[in-house]
Amino acid sequence: MQIVHQKGDNTLIFEARFESGNLQKVVKVNEFEYQLTLRTDPYTSRHTQWYYFQVNNMQAGMPYRFTIVNFTKHNSLYKCGLRPLLYSEADAKKHKVGWRRTGDEIKYYKTNAGQGRRQYFSLTWTFQFPHDQDTCYFAHCYPYTYSNLQEYLVAISKDPVKSKFCKIHILCCSLAGNTVCVLTITSPPRSGKGTKKAAVILTSRVHLGETNSSWMMKDKAQLLRDNFVFKVVPMLNPDGVTVGNHCCSLTCQDLNRKYGSNIKKIYPSICKAPGDMLWCHCIFPVELCFDMNWAVGVWVAKHQCVYLQIFLKKLIKQ
């Protein structure tokens, strides 16, 4: 689609039709204020948390205000100091500056709007663009796409040092045909030493908007490699990551609620991962099985630990 823009028109141009992008609609309220609506996860009326979009045709130094009007969570880290992320292509090219937090007058509040019984909440903030006619991006958290992961895995496989410690295998293919990989990370066995290592199982990105978990996956220390075998599934839900969902897969389901399902055609990674963990436990004693998630609040973090303990007990008994 070609965007026709008249000369002298200072209206911002928004775009989100790229990998992991999410923005459904924009309404211009006045010259420097815009009302944004996020796309819900397909075929649902909720899960509006992740946003990632591009902006062009801006004026530097002017007081812009963005308001996202259809969040559905009552509580938010934006109430506790979290700020939106901004990336400027001009700053990246001239000053090697990447993503950075931005925004003033940040407020997360309940609105009078809603859909059915679901109440909407708004996030509003003011800011200034650093350059005229720049290309900028805004995001909820540091983006990490499926393509980013594939590039990283290819780089590991071609690295003569890292490839000795990290072996990459295909766990399964997703509903859309994307590869779900499992990594085995450990130090090579030393000659004459038959020390049996324990295993640590890590999974990530079952929820797509929790990109911080992907960044956490990227490094493992020498001491840990010498003493443990890491089984890592860096992206359990590549389909949702690709289309810019926050929580659901292409089946409109939260895969974090589908452990125990045996419908392999619909939830291939969720059905395959536990079996791979059990196979691992037959070879190595599993010390820890951990899903990297974005727990908001002490209650959630505490109960995630409880669920993890229950899962480990079941795993060991089997």
Judge whether residue 12 has pLDDT over 80. Answer: yes
Report, as an integer, the average pLDDT of 96-116.
90
56-93, pLDDT tens digit by residue?
A: 999 999 999 999 999 988 889 999 999 999 999 999 99
What integer pLDDT is reported at residue 292 of this predicted model? 67
What integer pLDDT is reported at residue 311 of this predicted model? 42
Confidence bin at 312 (pLDDT 50/70/90): very low
What integer pLDDT is reported at residue 188 of this predicted model? 80
What integer pLDDT is reported at residue 8 of this predicted model? 75
Report, as an integer, the average pLDDT of 227-238.
80
Judge whether residue 158 has pLDDT over 70. Answer: yes
Report, as an integer, the average pLDDT of 271-290.
64
Look at 102 and 245; give whichever has higher pLDDT. 102
Report, as an integer, the average pLDDT of 218-233.
67
Domains assigned to the chain: 13-139 (2.60.40.3120), 146-317 (3.40.630.10)
Percentage of the residues of the chain whose pLDDT score is greater than 90: 42
Confidence bin at 206 (pLDDT 50/70/90): confident
Highest mean pLDDT among 35-44, 102-111, 256-265, 291-300: 102-111
| Three-class HEC string of the chain | CCCCCCCCCCCCEEECCCCCCECCEEEEEECCEEEEECCCCCCCCCCCCCCEEEEECCCECCCEEEEEEEECCCCCHHHHCCCCEEEEHHHHHHHCCCCEECCEEEEEEEEEEEECCEEEEEEEEEECECCCCCCEEEECCCCCCHHHHHHHHHHHHHCCCHHHHEEEEEEEECCCCCEEEEEEECCCCCCCCCCCCEEEEEEECCCCCCCHHHHHCCCCCHHHHHHEEEEEECCCCHHHHHHCCCCCCCCCCCHHHCCCCCCCCCCHHHHHHHHHHHHHHHHCCEEEEEEECCCCCHHHHHHHHHHHHHHHHHHHHC
Judge whether residue 98 has pLDDT over 50. Answer: yes
Average pLDDT, the chain: 81
pTM of the model: 0.77
What integer pLDDT is reported at residue 218 of this predicted model? 58
Report, as an integer, the average pLDDT of 2-20.
82
